[in-house]
Structure formats: C-alpha cells, structure tokens
Amino acid sequence: MARAPLFRNEPWVLAAILGAALLVRLVWVGSVPTQPVTDFAWYLDRALAMARGEGFSINGVPTAYWPVGYPAALSVALRIFPGLDPVSVGKGLNLLLSVGCVGLTYAVGRALSGRGVVGLIAAGVMALHPAMIAYSSILAAEPLFLCLVLGATWLSVLGADRPWMWLAVGILCGGAALVRPQAAVMPLLLVFGVWLWSRQRGKNLLPLVAAGLALVGLILALTPWTLRNREVFGATFLVSLNGGDNLWIGHHPEGNGRYKSPPGIPQAPADELANERATRAQALAWIRANPGRSLALIPAKWEATFLSTTDLAYWAFQTQRGELVVPGRGADKPLYFFTQGAAWWANRILLGLGLVGLAFALRHSGGRRYLAVPLLHIGLIALVTAVFFGNPRFGLPAHTFQAFLSATPWVREDI
C-alpha cells in the first residue's frame, strides 16, 4: 500500500502536539492531588498484590470480579519502580498512556485518510480534551484500554494489504478485552470496517483470512486467563465476574440508566461466581417482564455516556485514599468548577464538530469510506451502553472517534 508522504512541517507539528499533551498533563498531575477510591483503589490494591507475587487476589485468595488487564499493567510498573509511591507510579503510567493515545490518534487518522493534517487535527483535539487530561491522575483502566484499541485499529488499517498483521490486531484486541471484555468482538468489527474502507481502493484485503488470523490472535491472548479462571472457579467465562452486576445496574425496578450499586457485590472471592449468576438471572427476569421500560432507558444511558461530565471532576478531585469526599468545598473549589465547566463545553463542542464533520464526509465517497471505522467504534460503545448502563467513563474512547469525525472536512475524495 502506497504511503502518503509527510508534508514538510508534519513531524514538527506532531512533536509540538505531543509536547503540549505531555506538558498540560504534567501540570494537571502536579496541581490536582487525586487519590484512588472505590474501583480505582481496588485496582491499586490488586496491582500491589500482583507486584508482591500474590497473583490477582484478595488477601491471597484468587479473584476475577473485575478484569485483570489494568491491575496487571500497573503491577508491572510497580515492579519497575519498587521504591516509589504506588499512587505516583500509577499516575505516571496513566500519563504516559494518555500521551500515547494522542500519538496513536494521529497514526489512525493519517492511516485512514492518507493525510497528515487529518491525523494532526484529531490528535490536537485529544491532546487538549479535558477528559483525556484528567484521566492522567485517575487510576482508571480507560487510558490503557484506549491505547490498545487505537493500536489494534491502526494495525488493522495498515493490514488492508498485509494479512499477517491481523494476528497482531487480534492479540491487541485480546489485551483490550482483558481490560474491557467488550473488546472481544472488536476483531470482527475491525475486519468489517476496514473492508468497507478498502474495497474501493484496490486493496487486497481478504476478509475471511483477516478474521481468521485476528481470532487466532484473540484466542492466544485470552486462553491463559480463561484456563486460570477455569482452574480457580470451575467455570468458563469471559475475563471477569462482574457482568451480572453490570447487567443488573441497567435493568432493575429503580434503574435510571446510570450507575447504582448492585445488591450483592461479593465480599469474598468465593462468592463471585454465585453472585454473577444471581444478579444476571435477576436482570434477565426483569427485562423479560419489562421490555418497554428497558428500551425506554436507552436514551438516558447514551446521555450519561456521551454527554455527561459529572464523574470527571468528582473522581479527579478525590483527595483521600480509599475514602470518598465531597470535592469543590475547599481551596480546590475554583479549579474543580473550572474542570466541570471545561468538560461540559468540550463534550458538546466535540459533538457539534463531529456532526458537522459527518455532514461533510457524507458528501463524497472518500469521506464515507473514512467514516466506516470510527462510526463502528462509536456504535459498539452505544450498543454496549444500551445493553448495560451509561457512564461517562465508557464514553472516553468515543470522544477519540468523534475527534476523527471533526477532521473530516480535510478528508480527500480520492482516499
């Protein structure tokens, strides 16, 4: 596949964007003393156990309640820097992952469009997006997940005429599935999206070959963890045992489409499998009894995922490890409310730019081909949210693919 040549200043512009992304994240991490609470504290505790050689466990007992991917990655960083404060190590890891996402956004945009300016615009948006900046200090799995998704997407586009690359695509999707199990369906999504993108460009993409190699890579990545879970729990399941709770959150009598603590978060690993089955059964029974209500909640779930910004500042301004506080009531008040406002405006501006870009792209075949991969990614997020529940954290990858839409006015007709 012929590669578009770099324009003269493209490397310097990219370096400036990456430098700005790094600088603003360093300032953020230095200014906002975020401490891990709830899920984030759980991730850190599991990573510390793994770094001590205890495996993915709670008090030495193997667990699979939440996915292993992010704690495993964090444990590697903790092993590399054993003498440093674990929270600081986690922030450093997420800061680097967040900057890496900016670079991969450029790579994907350039590969899809054949134009550096498209990748640079999308990368610039992500370099300054408040959510991408804030997650540098929150010990959340989203930056790692997005890096893996973008890496798999980039390789899938490059693999339009290089079938062997789809094995690596599958492995990266498997890694992403260990962070968010929804990524297990991503190889087929990418094969379909790249086929739509490449079929009028004279590429030699063989969909069945690509899908087969990607699925082999996915299986290679997931099999060791699946076998571990089979040995520990005596059951075969996909990555983690919080699926039943997640389904219950979106489908119960008091549900409003957003997060609500499920009824039986297991207090011990031995209870995880039974809890997963019980809450899944409760949710499915409620769906069968109230199908109209389940469908009626979908718009609220999408609003919470794609537009809501309530969680961003709330989690970023938690300053006591393991203990929830009400942020924005002390010296942090000005920055807290500025962050809330910036995130609110950023989400809506990005949505508006994405819709404008969508209108531009639909006017010519090159734009329509460019749209295939970003829209399928956004569609997968919308589908998963509709099935489970809405959460601003789930929308972080969607913001990146919306950034690709915002750059479509610069996509050529002949891509």
Question: Taking Cα atoms as reference points, which of 391, 377, 404 lies closest to residue 187?
Answer: 377
pTM for this entry: 0.94
Mean pLDDT score of the chain: 91
Does the pLDDT at position 381 exceed 90?
yes
Please report how many Cα atoms fall inside a 13 Å half-sphere around the Cα of residue 328, on the Cβ side: 14
User: Confidence band (pLDDT; 50, 70, 90) for 9?
Assistant: confident
Average pLDDT over residues 407-413: 78
Does the pLDDT at position 7 exceed 80?
no
pLDDT value of position 24: 97
Helix pair 116-128, 86-113: axis angle to 10 deg: 150
Residue 62 host element (H or E): strand 61-62
Average pLDDT over residues 98-113: 95
Distance CA 60, CA 50 (A): 10
Average pLDDT over residues 254-266: 85
Does the pLDDT at position 3 exceed 70?
no
Please report how many Cα atoms fall inside a 13 Å half-sphere around the Cα of residue 386, on the Cβ side: 11
Average pLDDT over residues 360-386: 88
Question: Taking Cα atoms as reference points, which of 392, 386, 308, 379 lies closest to residue 348?
Answer: 308
Contacts of 214 (CB under 8 A, 6+ apart): 156, 166, 167, 169, 170, 173, 187, 188, 190, 191
pLDDT value of position 206: 81
pLDDT value of position 390: 93
pLDDT in tens, 162-173: 888 999 999 999
Share of the chain above pLDDT 90, in %: 73
The residue among 114 and 413 whose pLDDT is bigger is 114
pLDDT value of position 415: 56
Residue with tokens 């910036």: 342
